[in-house]
Amino acid sequence: MKNFSESNPAPWKVYASKIQSVKVEKGVTNVGDYAFDGLTDVTVFTLSDTVRSIGKYAFNGLTKLTEISVNNFITSIGDYAFASCTGATSLILSDHLVTIGD
């Protein structure tokens, strides 16, 4: 997945108020920077076991997300990947995690 930014957001961000779940399918190896930033109504996200890294601010602002669980193959999580996920009460990380940002 390509990287996005605040000035160049993901194309699906215009549908932020309508997206309630995110599923990253098999074959995707990384979640890009700012990929799902600001999708405030998302309550569930699922990552396939092919994902190996999560970019910076990838899930920033998912305020309705209650549980964060990353697959056991994730080796890298970027800075602030889960920043402002204020509804989260549970965080489950990978046993193979090598790098985690701020």
| Predicted confidence pLDDT, tens digits, the chain (102 residues) | 999 999 999 999 999 999 999 999 999 999 999 999 999 999 988 888 899 999 999 999 999 988 777 888 899 999 999 999 998 888 888 888 999 999
pLDDT score at 88: 86
Q: What is the pTM of this model?
A: 0.90
The residue type found at 7 is: S
- Give strand ranges (E) for the chain: 21-24, 30-31, 44-47, 53-54, 67-69, 76-77, 90-92, 99-100
Task: Name the phi and psi angles at 15, rounded to 5.
Answer: -105, 15
CA distance 44 to 29: 19
Tens-place pLDDT, residues 1-10: 999 999 999 9
CA distance 100 to 80: 9
